[in-house]
Structure 1
């Protein structure tokens, strides 16, 4: 009965968002309240559960998400992202242009959220394609693959960071395993899949694109942008800090060396996501601004715009947390755990499957990941599955089969001037490839670690 209630709730959520065009955050709160009542949570406690869900989710995530948005905005507005892209593309040359685009998009994708990275990189892709006389889609697929992989697998992006908290996974280990899986996944879904896409929809590769859909673009002169080294270091700084803490812990455990408590505390301190993002932001203010003599007022304007742009996304994530909390309080997670305890189905596969079904129904990768994590977390605890790999599997499932209920589908269609069929054969297919390969990578690592 519990799963029937959840299923009805998801259908109602789908209707509210797609049919009635109601705001996603409001829809999530309404459905969370309705599902909570149906699950038997006392009516006088429902709002308290919803508030607890929103608070617990945003309490951990607001720092990372907020600082991450500002960091990405500073890198973008300074021309750092432009410098990274152009330098790598010039370095690799025409023959390896797809690899250059993939690497540039991957680096930028770590610092910028998916939609921002897409809007930033497409004009660069269009310019390079025009100069080299090649298809924009030939470069667009690797770009989208890299941005999507970082969005789904790697902290400090919203979904992997949020579900890492739900699963109580070490963020550093999520980052380490995520990198191991993300790199081959991006190669398969990017340059490799492009070869198949050209055979399936050859006409799509003749499109000229629609750069007007991006609106007015900021123009950069390469000589006026920050250097490649400092731009790359700034974009990757949070990853480096979290990686240092993770590697230190792994070395400490494997080599069993005697360590200093103060050193342990200091390294753990800088490696926590919130602190890593704060230090990275301060570094970006200096490297992308002060060091280049950009007025502090201009830097603060960029920061304000970044926060404004993510305000609704923060609320949506909070709404996802409310829905998750209702499922937990209503006993749905325990019911699912009991239901699958006697089956041999891996929690990794189950997490991927739940996230995949929710993604197809709801469109939002973040909401799908949060809801799926709330359902399977008791099962993960019961089986002792590696929580970092559960994060990767859930993130992979939440990317599958992006279609007409996902904003990314329409963005890709409009920017590359594709038909619906061509968008399914390119964008939807590459998202599905990422999802399946990501699951395979999580299962393979689960056999080793």
Structure 2
């Protein structure tokens, strides 16, 4: 059977499982992986062993990083550290710049906290700020859209968020470099989303927006109902997040500055290893917040973080299994040669793959992992750097949050919007933001 047809059949199997049968992406990826291996002519025993090797190798390389990253996010969430960060950012920018403040708050908070959870936590702040505005319905849309732009940007582009972390690992990209370049493109994406919210949505009349829960925006949902004493200090909120990020980036820069044989690099390579850095971040969160959490809270949050990370590790590892089968079967090489000959910019290939999966499936993580898995064997043939493939795939995975994406309903539900207004604000904003991110990726690709 032609390899191109084998690959198409595999993708159709993937879409059938996750769209038609509505199974977890883990099951869909494994089904597609086995189908591609079997249809390519591999012996079935070889298919199974290759799947096991790819799955196990991915768990070994990034499984612990995903687990500890998720645990750190849970500690910041349950200790109200995210509330403190958001309030501090809004206070620093002032009420006249609340739209930009919400975008930056989303950008920062979504690094350790899942975007869905962060949206739930910060929605009351959006409503409280909107209630002070002369046009509260417009303000809800502008502030909420701006917040979502930040949340969804780092959620897709910035390790140690699981999706980009796994994608960087699959492409053998230094995590520090992924942070630097992914963070830069994520910032551009955030600013494009903020611009759409500020200069387009903010100029609309109030009747342009419709809400299912009218009372929700008539009443000030004051985040200060959470007593100040229940929130940590700004430094206490930020330190557990900043510590691992600084250590990882310091490791990257030390390699550039001192060279591989320096004793400084030997030290930074250990403390700046993503797993060790995130463990230190978790430990610092336990120590700083030990009084409010107490022992029971520390242990229950730890357990909750481990539980939530499980499904992510499975999905990512299934993507690793798919990559192994694509390589072993020869399908990946054949596909790379065919795609490289197409008359389209090579940058668009990982972007279009990611965008297609995202629009159909709704999961940015699944879209990103699938795009990187398919493109990893093509990197040499495409003639672009792995970091450019990474950024382009991230762009595709962030293309549009709509009705098949859980974040869409978290966003619209917590802000009282009906589906039409959710589409006009969040979904269109995503497209505008992604255009900005793709432009930034193209510009960076000229130098990488």
1:32-51, Cα deviation, whole Å (9 max, x unpaired)? 22222112221122222222
Structure 2 partner of 1:297: 296
> Residues 375, 16 of structure 1: CA spacing in aligned structure 2 closer, same or farther, 3 A cutoff?
closer
Conserved? CA contact 1:68–1:111, under 8 Å: yes
Are 2:107 and 2:151, in contact at CA under 8 Å, matched by a contact in 1?
A: yes
For 2:420 and 2:173, how far apart are their aligned partners in 1?
39
Q: Report the equivalent of 1:404.
A: 403
Cα distance in 1 for partners of 2:58, 2:360 equals: 22
1:299-323 Cα deviation digits (max 9, x unpaired) = 1111111222232232222223333
Whole-angstrom distance in 2 between the partners of 1:179 and 1:45: 40
Match of 1:376 in 2: 375
| Runs (4+) off by over 6 Å | 209-212
Alignment of 1:158-307 (within 5 A): 158-197=162-201, 203=207, 205=209, 207=211, 220-252=226-258, 261-287=262-288, 289-290=289-290, 292=291, 294-307=293-306
Cα distance between partner residues in 2 of 1:281 and 1:93: 32
Between the aligned partners of 2:214 and 2:42, the Cα distance in structure 1 is 52
Q: CA deviation at 1:416?
A: 2.8
- 2: CA distance between counterparts of 1:372 and 1:260? 36
| Matches of 1:173 and 1:93, distance apart in 2 | 33
- State how far apart, in whole Å, the 1-side matches of 2:12 and 2:202 are: 36
Deviations for 1:250-309, whole angstroms, at most 9, x for unmatched residues?
3346xxxxx87321111122222112111111111112x23x464222111111112222
Deviation at 1:56, TM superposition (A): 2.0
What is the TM-score when the length of structure 2 is the normalising length? 0.89
Deviation at 1:210, TM superposition (A): 8.8
Give, in whole Å, the separation in 1 of the partners of 2:319 and 2:75.
28
Q: Could you tell me which residue of structure 2 aligns to residue 76 of structure 1?
A: 77
Q: Give the SS at the match of 1:385.
A: coil
1:341 positional shift: 3.9
More displaced 10-residue stretch of structure 1: 331-340 or 167-176: 331-340
Report whether the alignment pairs 1:61 with 2:62.
yes
Residue number among 153, 158, 161 corresponding to 1:154 in the alignment: 158
Cα distance in 2 for partners of 1:62, 1:211 equals 41
Q: Within 1, Cα distance between the matches of 2:199 and 2:250? A: 37
Query: What residue number does 2:220 align with?
Result: none
Cα pair 1:159 1:370 within 8 Å, conserved: yes
SS of equivalent to 1:448? coil
Task: Determine helix, strand or coil for the equivalent of 2:110.
Answer: helix
The 3 A distance-change label for structure 1 pair 246 and 324 is same
Does the 8 Å CA contact 1:347/1:379 hold for their aligned counterparts?
A: no
Counterpart Cα distance in 2 of 1:19 and 1:383: 33
In structure 2, runs of 5+ residues without a counterpart are 218-222
TM-aligned CA distance change 1:204 to 1:160, over 3 Å? farther
Stretch deviating more after TM superposition (202-211 or 136-145): 202-211
What's 1:391 paired with?
A: 390
Give the drift of 1:239: 1.5
Distance 2:4 2:328 in 1: 14
| Structure 1: 5+ residue stretches without partners | 254-258
Q: 1:90, CA displacement in angstroms? A: 2.4
Q: Distance in 2 between matches of 1:16 and 1:342?
A: 31
Q: Which residue of 1 aligns with 2:113?
A: 112
CA distance 1:229–1:27, change in 2 (3 Å): same
Instruction: Map 1:313-332 onto structure 2 (within 5 A).
Output: 313-332=312-331
Give 1:417 shift: 3.2
Task: Determine helix, strand or coil for the equivalent of 1:45.
Answer: helix
2:377 and 2:25 map into 1 onto residues whose CA distance is 27
Are residues 218 and 98 of structure 1, via their aligned partners in 2, closer, same or farther at CA, if it must alter by over 3 Å? Answer: closer
Distance 1:105 1:92 in 2: 14
Give, in angstroms, the shift of residue 403 of structure 1: 2.7
Equivalent pair of 2:141/2:201 in contact (CA under 8 Å): no
Query: What TM-score results when the alignment is normalised by the length of structure 1?
Result: 0.89
Instruction: Report if the CA contact (8 A) 2:209-2:421 is conserved.
Output: no
Q: 1:116 to 1:3 in 2, by over 3 A?
A: farther
User: Could you tell which deviates more after superposition, 69-78 or 323-332?
Assistant: 323-332
Contact 1:160–1:392 (Cα < 8 Å) also in 2 = no
